[in-house]
């Protein structure tokens, strides 16, 4: 028997909804034939956006969506995406898939998409191929009050009199790579320049700096060294962690199941090490982490478009397990992380939706986001796990817990490919009503995935549980328990 101690009321912090954020880039099939079908399309749409996707996306409460890239943002000119007669351009990815950018979706359309799904936009600014004045002008165009500037008037002429609400601005993307191939100290100086010029356009706009690629601690060290000596126009520090792939995305072996989960578990060590470097420079109030790209990166071609949509991949129960494991880590470190954006929303890496023509289905990863949305705005509570075993070098239980409005939410992922986990819950510093609800996501075959022909192969179900007795978390399964919390210190929780 394994035991999970729920350490009420040891609150780690409040889980910001933005930790459950998303990312949409102009790449492959994310926009065109994904989110965007066009206003005149026979496919049901709302102002050009695929209606079914909007409805289903809404249900998981998306708090924030990052746009327009990714690498794409580093050759993007925001002026191409406003007004009439938009230009057709090569985009960052054209060399990889021969697709040209029509700019049908620009600032106005994307802001509208966000308002349709109730999310805040997070814009990524081009730092490597446009001067800082352009970043400032884009902010002016978006954020200046009606009638105050020529750009605000241009925005009004283009159909939006009121300023857009765009609270987050990323200053560059992957500037160690596609975004200018810079050394960290060079980027730090660039960031100082850009952020200085962007910082006083609108007081509410938060600027995020570009952080490292995964475990590149040298980047954080060198960036902080230069940046910490400057004016602190920074409200967050971004990092990317793709855990790669292990074997075929759909027909992986048992060993590759564990290898994938071992790679994904590394995100905890990586974010902690960056965080401690940030703290070492006394920069924690400026540098709370923004993990604005994360997920698996499988080889091209396993998705329904069979490689036509660049980076499109099929998503199995293994990807769902990576999602649960990662979100548990984020909950458990919500005092260090202010936002995270899974890459990407549709027809791409680690996606929640697959679409083509009339088809629009959700992946197992979507279901994990759906089950976990209860954690948004809840207080994360520390947990301790006893009696867990290691298989192939990884712990088999991944756990996080939170409390909100008198209820506790306990998410448990059983990474074992072989054995169900028999788990006893011990509430320390509180007690739980016996009768509880449990959502379960599992399939007898952990390669299971949804397809256009069979869209409901992996679907969660509900089950009543008695949390005073042992709970079975099925092998390769994910559960979310909702129980009433009594006799704990209410003043500690939202």
Number of helices (H) and strands (E), helices first, in the chain?
10, 26
d(CA 443, CA 231): 53
Number of residues that bind ligand AHR (CB under 6 A): 10
173 binds ligand AHR (CB under 6 A): yes
Q: Which of 361, 351, 330 is nearest to 56 (CA)?
A: 361
139 beta partners:
none
| 128-167 footprint of ligand AHR as x/- string (CB under 6 A) | ----------------------------------------
Residue 272 has phi, psi (to 5 degrees) of: -65, -40
CA-to-CA distance for 170 and 126, rounded, in angstroms?
9
Question: Residue 444 gets which letter from DSSP?
Answer: S
For ligand AHR, the closer CB: 167 or 177: 177
Establish if 349 lies at the interface with ligand AHR (CB under 6 A). yes
Binding mask 289-318 for ligand AHR (x = CB under 6 A): ----x-------------------------
- What is the spatial distance between Cα 8 and Cα 379, in angstroms, rounded to a whole number? 10
Q: Any idea what DSSP says for residue 205?
A: P
Task: Give the residue at shortest CB distance from ligand AHR.
Answer: 70
The three-state secondary structure class of 97 is helix
Query: Rounded CA gap, 166 and 122, in Å?
Result: 6
Q: Is residue 319 a contact residue for ligand AHR (CB under 6 A)?
A: no
Instruction: Choose, by CB under 6 A, the member of 18, 25, 140, 388 that binds ligand AHR.
Output: 25
Beta carbon of residue 371, minimum distance to ligand AHR (angstroms, whole number): 24
**Nearer to ligand AHR (CB atom), residue 32 or residue 258:** 32
Instruction: Lay out the site mask for ligand AHR across 235-274 (x = CB under 6 A, - = otherwise).
Output: ----------------------------------------
Stretch that binds ligand AHR, among 147-155, 276-284, 324-332, 341-349 (CB under 6 A): 341-349
Q: Are 335 and 288 in contact (CB under 8 A)?
A: no
Smallest distance, ligand AHR to C-beta of residue 452, A: 23
- Work out whether the CA dihedral 431, 433, 438, 444 comes out positive or negative: positive
**Does residue 327 bind ligand AHR (CB under 6 A)?**
no
Q: Which is nearer to ligand AHR, 70 or 106 (CB)?
A: 70
DSSP state letters, 373-408: GGGTTSEEEEEEEES--EETTEESEEEEEEEETTEE
376 neighbors 339 (Cβ within 8 angstroms): no
Reading the block at residue 378, the tokens are 């809840």
Among the listed ranges 69-77, 152-160, 257-265, 473-481, the one in contact with ligand AHR (CB under 6 A) is 69-77
Instruction: Tell which one of 9, 63, 68, 70 touches ligand AHR (CB under 6 A).
Output: 70
Check residue 174 for interaction with ligand AHR (CB under 6 A).
Answer: yes
Q: Out of 344, 356, 383, 402, which residue is the one contacting ligand AHR (CB under 6 A)?
A: 344
Catalytic choice (18, 259, 293, 312): 293
Residues in the chain: 494
Q: Which of 15, 65, 71, 188 binds ligand AHR (CB under 6 A)?
A: 71
Question: By C-beta, is 25 or 33 nearer to ligand AHR?
Answer: 25
Which C-beta is closer to ligand AHR: that of 25 or that of 439? 25
**Closer residue to ligand AHR in complex, CB, 71/379:** 71
Q: Is 69 in the site for ligand AHR (CB under 6 A)?
A: yes
Catalytic residue status for 112: no
Torsion angle in degrees (nearest 10) through CA of 178, 67, 131, 138: 180
Q: How far apart are CA 304 and CA 318, in angstroms?
A: 18
Contact call for residues 409 and 401 (beta carbons, < 8 A) = yes
- Of the two residues 18 and 293, which places its CB atom closer to ligand AHR in the complex? 293
Encoded one letter per residue, x for contact with ligand AHR by CB under 6 A and - for no contact, window 184-223 reads ----------------------------------------
Q: Is 269 a catalytic residue?
A: no
What is the separation, in whole angstroms, between the first and last Cα of the chain?
A: 32
Nearest Cα to 483, choosing from 435, 430, 428?
Answer: 435
From 18, 174, 190, 312, the catalytic residue: 174
**Percentages of the chain per state (helix, strand, coil), in multiples of 5:** 30, 30, 45
The catalytic residue positions are: 174, 293
Q: Which stretches of the chain bind ligand AHR, using CB under 6 A?
A: 25, 69-71, 173-174, 293, 343-344, 349
């Amino acid at each position: 028997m394994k035991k999970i101690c729920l350490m009420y009321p040891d609150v780690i912090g409040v889980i910001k909804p933005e930790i459950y954020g998303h990312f949409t880039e102009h790449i492959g099939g994310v926009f065109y034939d994904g989110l965007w079908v066009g206003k005149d399309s026979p496919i049901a749409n709302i102002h050009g956006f695929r209606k079914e996707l909007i409805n289903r996306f809404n249900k998981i409460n998306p708090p924030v969506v990052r746009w327009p890239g990714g690498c794409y943002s580093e050759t993007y000119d925001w002026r191409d995406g406003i007004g009439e007669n938009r230009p057709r351009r090569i985009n960052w990815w054209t060399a990889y898939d021969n697709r040209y950018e029509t700019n049908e979706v620009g600032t106005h359309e994307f802001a509208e998409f966000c308002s349709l799904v109730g999310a805040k936009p997070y814009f990524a600014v081009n730092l490597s191929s446009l001067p800082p004045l352009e970043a400032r002008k884009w902010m002016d165009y978006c954020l200046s009050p009606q009638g105050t500037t020529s750009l605000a008037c241009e925005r009004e002429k283009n159909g939006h009199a009121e300023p857009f609400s765009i609270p987050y601005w990323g200053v560059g993307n992957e500037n160690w790579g596609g975004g200018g191939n810079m050394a960290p100290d060079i980027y730090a100086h660039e960031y100082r320049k850009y952020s200085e010029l962007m910082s006083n356009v609108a007081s509410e706009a938060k600027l995020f700096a570009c952080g490292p690629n995964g475990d590149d601690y040298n980047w954080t060290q060198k960036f902080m060294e230069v940046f910490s000596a400057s004016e602190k126009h920074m409200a967050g520090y971004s990092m990317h962690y793709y855990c790669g792939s292990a074997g075929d995305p759909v027909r992986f072996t048992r060993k590759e199941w564990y290898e994938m989960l071992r790679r994904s578990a590394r995100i905890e060590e990586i974010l902690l090490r960056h965080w401690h470097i940030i703290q070492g420079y006394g920069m924690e109030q400026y540098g709370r982490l923004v993990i604005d790209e994360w997920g698996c990166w499988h080889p091209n071609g396993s998705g329904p478009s069979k490689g036509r949509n660049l980076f499109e991949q099929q998503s199995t129960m293994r990807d769902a397990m990576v999602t649960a494991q990662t979100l548990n880590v984020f909950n458990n470190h919500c005092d260090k992380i202010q936002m995270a954006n899974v890459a990407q929303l549709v027809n791409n890496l680690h996606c929640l939706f697959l679409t083509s023509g009339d088809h629009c289905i959700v992946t197992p990863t979507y279901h994990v986001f759906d089950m976990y949305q209860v954690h948004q705005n809840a207080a994360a509570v520390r947990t301790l796990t006893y009696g867990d075993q290691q298989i192939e070098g990884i712990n088999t239980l991944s756990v996080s817990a939170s409390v909100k409005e008198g209820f506790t939410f306990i998410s448990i992922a059983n990474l074992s490919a072989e054995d169900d986990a028999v788990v006893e819950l011990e509430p320390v510093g509180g007690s739980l009503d016996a009768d509880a609800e449990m959502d379960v996501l599992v399939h007898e075959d952990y390669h299971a995935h949804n397809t256009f022909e069979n869209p409901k192969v992996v679907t969660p179900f509900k089950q009543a549980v008695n949390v005073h007795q042992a709970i079975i978390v099925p092998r390769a399964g994910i559960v979310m328990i909702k129980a009433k919390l009594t006799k704990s210190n209410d003043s500690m929780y939202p």
